[in-house]
Amino acid sequence: MIHLHGVSKTYPPDQTALRGVDLKVSEGEFIFVAGASGAGKSSLLKLLFGAEKSSTGDVVIGGRNMAAVGLDGIAELRRDIGVVFQDYKLLPRRTVLENVAYGLEVLGVTQRERNRLALLLLHAMGLNDRADAYPVTLSGGEQQRVAIARALIRKPRMILADEPTGNLDQEMSKRVFDLLLEANSAGVTVVVATHNLSVIEQLNKRTVVLDRGKIIGDFSHAGRIRQ
């Protein structure tokens, strides 16, 4: 699903975010990318959904080398990727229902079809009574679940989450990760960037540790990280 080979990323004038990263992630895998702030986690995720191009090396997603993919190709690729951010990135002037359905709206999916799917997801997440509310009236946990619902609505092949629980308490964090785990159980590849070691240890999944842009560890189970 994901294959990074010798990937480096340097921002002008000379700020190096990633150095010689090699990484393989199989389809249907759940993987944490851990590291302190500034370790290169967000830069790595940006390469994965085509927001940035690597300075050197190859980034291959679903068999396609990102260096050779044009802008419309990246747009097409993103239809298979759900992205979740710490700051939710919801549209403030749209209702919860419209936010969830937005990924289908921009593609021209009929209103009936997109609302049907969005309502099903909101109902399943216990947010159906907030469908007509605006994001600003929701708690942080609710907003993040709405963002995840938007990412899930198109049955993505991969979800990329950048510090998805960074602003949430433990209970809300758990609910968010429950959703990501269920998506993973349904066959979705999940990549979560986080600096929260306790979350990583709780879920006990494969974890790649970054430090100053380099991979310093790739652990099949979180239990071995502290060792």
Partner 1 sequence: MIPASSQPERASIGLVKIWGEGQVGSRVSLLSFTRHILRRALGNLRRSPVTVALSVVTISVALFLLSTFTLLLHNCTLAVSREGGDLMVMVFLKDSASKSDVERLSGEFGRLMPGGKVAFTDKSAALKNFRSLLGEDAAMLEGLEKENPLPASLDMQAVSPEQAEALYAETVSRFQGEPAVESIRYSRGGVQQIKKILSVVQTAGIAGIVFLLIITGFIIANTIRLALYGHRVEIEIMELVGARRAAIAAPYVIEGLFQGVLGALVAIAATFALFGALKSFLAQADALTAVFPSFQFLGAEQLGLIVLAGAAVGMAGSFLAVRRFLSEG
Q: How far apart are CA 98 and CA 73, in angstroms?
A: 26
Which contiguous run of DSSP H or E holds residue 45? helix 41-48
Query: Is 181 near partner 1 (CB under 8 A)?
Result: yes
Q: How far apart are CA 82 and CA 225, in angstroms?
A: 28
Query: Is 79 near partner 1 (CB under 8 A)?
Result: yes
Query: Is 169 near partner 1 (CB under 8 A)?
Result: no
DSSP letter at 67 equals G
From residue 61, alpha-carbon distances to 66, 108, 156, 191, 215 in Å are: 7, 25, 13, 13, 19
Query: Is 77 near partner 1 (CB under 8 A)?
Result: yes
Query: Is 117 near partner 1 (CB under 8 A)?
Result: yes
Answer whether 46's CB lies under 8 Å from 52's CB.
Answer: yes
Q: What's the min distance (Å) between Cβ of 214 and partner 1?
A: 26
Q: How far apart are CA 146 and CA 155, in angstroms?
A: 15
Query: Is 36 near partner 1 (CB under 8 A)?
Result: no
Query: Is 27 near partner 1 (CB under 8 A)?
Result: no
Structure tokens at 42: 């967000």
Query: Is 103 near partner 1 (CB under 8 A)?
Result: yes
**Residues 182-221 as x/- pattern, contact with partner 1 by CB under 8 A:** xx-xx-----------x--xxxx-----------------
Q: What's the min distance (Å) between Cβ of 33 and partner 1?
A: 19
The site for partner 1 (CB under 8 A) is made up of: 49, 51, 71-72, 75-79, 81, 83, 89, 91-93, 102-114, 117, 120-121, 124-125, 150, 152-155, 178-179, 181-183, 185-186, 198, 201-204
